[in-house]
Amino acid sequence: GQQLNQSPQSMFIQEGEDVSMNCTSSSIFNTWLWYKQDPGEGPVLLIALYKAGELTSNGRLTAQFGITRKDSFLNISASIPSDVGIYFCAGQLYSGYALNFGKGTSLLVTP
Amino acid sequence: ETGVTQTPRHLVMGMTNKKSLKCEQHLGHNAMYWYKQSAKKPLELMFVYNFKEQTENNSVPSRFSPECPNSSHLFLHLHTLQPEDSALYLCASSQDLFRDSYEQYFGPGTRLTVT
């Protein structure tokens, strides 16, 4: 599969701070996805992006599909302790093709 | 039960043992997936089933043998595993392989340790 580079690898922030993370690929994707994995659970889909340049929000989360189709960004505003977990980006070239995942960004939030 | 369930949640097995992992989805989906999650690595797709037919085997060693008796159940049979096979094994399902296949619902995983 295609290699996705996700950064940062980990973040340690205080409650109330905003968070930004990104994902880049050497190849284009037609769908970009962001998942969150809580400790002891499987990943849960947060946001799906379908079009280059698209900006989509889900509560305090905002994600963008990069204009080159080779990157995506996730922002979390006003972080809270329950935001703790691992955030994965994933890209899909076409429906029916495998998802390619990044290695994840581990987020820790202190009260 | 709702969503995707996996049993057991934890499994310790010796290299000569034979064991099976079970996944059940209660979402009415037709595609099911096995993933391997190792520390510091991206999720690795192992197998895909669509309407009970295996559509992908991602170069997985034969010591892993999947079985999909119906669209709701997926098994992963394990035998003569190696210590490097220790990982979290995740099951997922989606509507089917071509409709919203990106929208995969994951189970909590089975934490496998091979001694």
Residue range B48-97, pLDDT digits in tens:
999 999 998 889 999 999 999 999 999 999 999 999 999 999 999 999 88
pLDDT at B1: 65
- Cα separation, B98 vs B111, in Å, equals 29
Q: Looking at this protein, which amino acid is placed at residue B5?
A: T
Interatomic CA distance for residues B54 and B32, integer angstroms: 9
d(CA B80, CA B90): 20
Q: Do A99 and B56 touch (CB under 8 A)?
A: no
Q: What is the pLDDT of residue B98?
A: 85
Read off the pLDDT of each residue in A101-109 and give the average, rounded to a whole number. 96
Q: Grade residue B100 by pLDDT with cuts at 50, 70 and 90.
A: confident
The residue count of chain B comes to 115
**Set of chain A residues whose Cβ sits within 8 Å of the Cβ of B101:** 92, 95-97
pLDDT at residue number A44 = 95
**pLDDT tens column, A74-94:** 999 999 999 999 999 999 998
B78, exposed or middle or buried, with CB in 10 Å at 0-12, 13-18, 19+? buried
Pairwise CB contact (< 8 Å): B102 & A33: yes
- Token pair belonging to B33: 């997936």
Q: Check residue A2 and give its pLDDT.
A: 72
Per-residue pLDDT tens over the stretch B18-45: 999 999 999 999 999 999 999 888 999 9
A101 to chain B, any CB pair closer than 8 A? The answer is yes
Q: Which of B83, B81, B102, B77 is nearest to B92 (CA)?
A: B102
d(CA B36, CA B46): 7
How far does the CA of residue A8 sit from the closest CA of chain B (Å)?
13
